Amino acid sequence: MDVQFRDMTVDRVKTDLLILPVVERELDRSPLYVFDRRLKGKINERIRKAKFTGSEGSTLFYSTAGIFPAANLLIIGLGKAEEIEPDTWRRVAARARKEASAVGAEEIAFYFAPARESENAAAAVVEGMLLAAYQFTKYRSNSKPAGEVKSLTLFKPGLSRAGGMQKAIREVQQTIPGVLLTRDLVNEPPSVTTATFLGAQAQRYCRGRGLSVEVWGKKKIESMKLAGLLAVNRGSSEEPRFIVIHYQPSGKKKKRVALVGKGITFDSGGLSLKPAKSMETMKLDMSGGAAVIGAMSRLPHLNLNVEVTGYIPTTDNLPGGNAQKPGDVIRYLNGKTIEVLNTDAEGRLILADALALAARQRPDYMINLATLTGACVVALGPQVGGLFSNHQWLADQLTRSAREAGEKLWQLPLVKEYREHIKSSVADMKNVGGPHGGAITAALILQEFVGDVPWAHLDIAGPSFAEADSALCPKGGTGFGVRTVLRFLSSL
Ligand code: BES
Ligand code: ZN
Ligand code: ZN
């Protein structure tokens, strides 16, 4: 989708569909009257009859029948002025994008007159349109391709001078493909997305200036003593992989960041088998790894001056004949041992290796993304990710990046006292805690492997997968985390 800016008045725009956002109960302040004068009050009449108030997402479609250069008008409500935020623009744009597809409009125009923060709002409109166009239909025999919007013109008198706006929009255009790639990787069936497949996809998509990918096979994983990954992989007939993606920017004096993503391509629970219902969506369990691939794949395009290494331990978690058993003990490369009492708490087992390995490089910051605990979903619900950190500045920066990106993160505490809950009778710790505070226990186990490196753990078990369609994302993988991480990296 090509984005252009035009400095022009509303009645001059030639387009298939002209989108006019209006504020609830302030319809008289919109440029609607320009049209209505020439249409002799017909739009006002429609508004009255339809009792259209401009509440968020409400729409009114009007064909201009050749009276204006714009073939059709879509009047769309933004809701109450005081409640409009960047996500409002994203949702409204998404809705408009769907209406455009429905009428086969290829060239659309968006009247752009937000009250404040116009740069963010314009970028949010573009973002909403790009996210809303996503579909995952390769396994449907009867899917008809949605109408493609080829160009979007943002216009209002005086708009073309907006340089900051163009930059914000370019960033969005370079970021969203990473989100959509992540959605694709998550939505793919779990017998397609094996560890081997994930490695191959990383190699395929992480190309470009400064990017390189290494995919370690079982031999190398053994020689590197990644004991947690090998333990979880024992129940599977698929080989594990350890993916390392490196981005080396050309500039000097840069920060070094490690990203670590959980790559369980299917979580059956292992011998501590999950009930059938809980297993239905467990292809989502590589969402953290997919988000790392998605984010890394965009680094050359965003041209960031940060050195970034992505680490993705990946395997499925199955209860095959050689599977690890409750009671087994894993010895890690940093010398620490974990007694495995529940094989369904496997994410922390494979992340421990990766965090220890990444921490050895002494990065300035280390961030891991993982669909780690059902407890985090209980605590924060399906839309909010849990954030844990040993470094408050990093936590604050990530919270802010998430807010700006339109993703929700909420910090939860690393409660030292709860270390009691993971004491083991035979090893340094066990892999499960007590009945309460499961998201915290899991985070405390991860913390044992990061040393003193500034680190943040994002538990994305809730927001990485949508249980129902929404304006910005169909049911399935959401690509959560990619936008936040890329914003954070570009803020360094
Ligand atoms: N992959 C799951 C966590 C999960 C649950 C992700 C729901 C997305 C939605 C993880 O490996 C797991 O099974 N965790 C257990 C831990 C427990 C055994 C201590 C859980 O949360 O129940
Ligand atoms: Zn599990
Ligand atoms: Zn899991």
Distance of alpha carbon 338 from alpha carbon 431, whole angstroms: 6
Structure-token pair, residue 112: 């752009």
- Nearest ligand by distance to the CA of 270: 2
**Which atom of ligand 1 is nearest the CA belonging to 264?**
1
Distance of alpha carbon 99 from alpha carbon 412, whole angstroms: 40
Query: Is the CB of 382 inside a 6 Å radius of any atom of ligand 1?
Result: no
Q: How far is the CA of 286 from the centre of ligand 1 (A)?
A: 12
Beta strands, E only, 156-230 = 211-216
Residue 39: the pLDDT is: 78
Query: Is the CB of 441 inside a 6 Å radius of any atom of ligand 1?
Result: no
Query: Is the CB of 76 inside a 6 Å radius of any atom of ligand 1?
Result: no
Query: Is the CB of 374 inside a 6 Å radius of any atom of ligand 1?
Result: yes
Query: Is the CB of 461 inside a 6 Å radius of any atom of ligand 1?
Result: yes
Tens of pLDDT, residue by residue, the chain (492 residues):
899 888 888 888 889 999 999 999 888 777 777 778 877 888 888 899 999 999 999 999 988 877 888 889 999 999 998 999 889 999 999 999 999 998 999 999 998 875 555 668 889 999 999 999 999 999 999 887 777 899 999 888 777 666 778 888 999 999 999 999 999 999 999 999 999 999 999 999 999 889 999 999 999 999 999 999 999 999 999 999 999 999 999 888 789 999 999 999 999 999 999 999 999 999 999 999 999 999 999 999 999 999 999 999 999 999 999 999 999 999 998 899 999 999 999 999 999 999 999 999 999 999 999 999 999 999 999 999 999 999 999 999 999 999 999 999 999 999 999 999 999 999 999 999 999 999 999 999 999 999 999 999 999 999 999 999 999 999 999 999 999 999 999 999
The question of whether 262 is a catalytic residue gets the answer no
Residue 420: the pLDDT is: 97
Which residue's CA is the closest to the ligand 1 atom numbered 17? 345
**Which atom of ligand 1 is nearest the CA belonging to 373?**
21
Distance of alpha carbon 441 from alpha carbon 444, whole angstroms: 5
Distance of alpha carbon 57 from alpha carbon 43, whole angstroms: 18
- Nearest ligand by distance to the CA of 280: 1
Contacts of 224 (CB under 8 A, 6+ apart): 216, 242, 333, 357
The answer to whether 431 and 438 have CB atoms below 8 angstroms apart is: no
Residue 436: the pLDDT is: 96
Q: Enumerate residues with CB within 5 Å of ligand 3 (an ion).
A: 264, 267, 285, 347
Distance of alpha carbon 344 from alpha carbon 331, whole angstroms: 18
Structure-token pair, residue 449: 């492997």
Distance of alpha carbon 222 from alpha carbon 186, whole angstroms: 27
Q: Sort 350 into a burial class: Cβ within 10 Å, 0-12 / 13-18 / 19+.
A: buried
Beta partners for 259? 310, 367
Which residue's CA is the closest to the ligand 1 atom numbered 13? 344
Q: How far is the CA of 294 from the centre of ligand 1 (A)?
A: 23
Buried b (16+ CB within 10 A) or exposed e, 476-489: bbbbbbbbbbbbbb
Distance of alpha carbon 330 from alpha carbon 316, whole angstroms: 18
The question of whether 170 is a catalytic residue gets the answer no
**Which atom of ligand 1 is nearest the CA belonging to 347?**
11
Nearest by Cα to 290 from 419, 184, 171, 372: 184
Residue 426: the pLDDT is: 98
Residue 161: the pLDDT is: 65
**Which atom of ligand 1 is nearest the CA belonging to 431?**
19
Residue 64: the pLDDT is: 82
Query: Is the CB of 445 inside a 6 Å radius of any atom of ligand 1?
Result: no
Strand order in the sheet with 59-63: 2-6, 151-155, 107-111, 15-22, 70-77, 59-63
Helix then strand then coil, in percent of the chain rounded to 5, is: 40, 20, 40
**Which atom of ligand 1 is nearest the CA belonging to 272?**
18
Q: Sort 458 into a burial class: Cβ within 10 Å, 0-12 / 13-18 / 19+.
A: buried
Mutation probe of ligand 1 site: the residue of 344, 368, 421, 432 with most atoms within 8 A of C-beta: 344
Which residue's CA is the closest to the ligand 1 atom numbered 5? 374
Residue 116: the pLDDT is: 53
Residue 253: the pLDDT is: 76
Angle of helix 163-187 relative to helix 482-491, nearest 10 degrees?
140
Give the per-residue SS3 of 423-465: CCCCCCEECCCCCCCHHHHHHHHHHCCCCCCCEEEEECCCCCE
Structure-token pair, residue 352: 């421990």
Distance of alpha carbon 439 from alpha carbon 433, whole angstroms: 10
Mutation probe of ligand 1 site: the residue of 264, 273, 373 with most atoms within 8 A of C-beta: 373
Query: Is the CB of 433 inside a 6 Å radius of any atom of ligand 1?
Result: no
Residue 42: the pLDDT is: 85
Which residue in 25, 170, 218, 274 is the catalytic one?
A: 274
**Which atom of ligand 1 is nearest the CA belonging to 342?**
18
Q: Sort 273 into a burial class: Cβ within 10 Å, 0-12 / 13-18 / 19+.
A: middle
Which residue's CA is the closest to the ligand 1 atom numbered 16? 345
Q: DSSP of 363-408, one letter per residue?
A: -SEEEEEE---HHHHHHH-TTEEEEEES-HHHHHHHHHHHHHHT-E
Distance of alpha carbon 381 from alpha carbon 305, whole angstroms: 35
Contacts of 275 (CB under 8 A, 6+ apart): none
Q: How far is the CA of 278 from the centre of ligand 1 (A)?
A: 9
Residue 251: the pLDDT is: 82
Residue 311: the pLDDT is: 98
Query: Is the CB of 463 inside a 6 Å radius of any atom of ligand 1?
Result: no
Which residue in 156, 283, 348, 430 is the catalytic one?
A: 348
Tell me the backbone φ, ψ of residue 474, rounded to 5 degrees: -75, 165
Buried b (16+ CB within 10 A) or exposed e, 26-56: ebeebbbeebbeebeeebbebbeeeebebeb
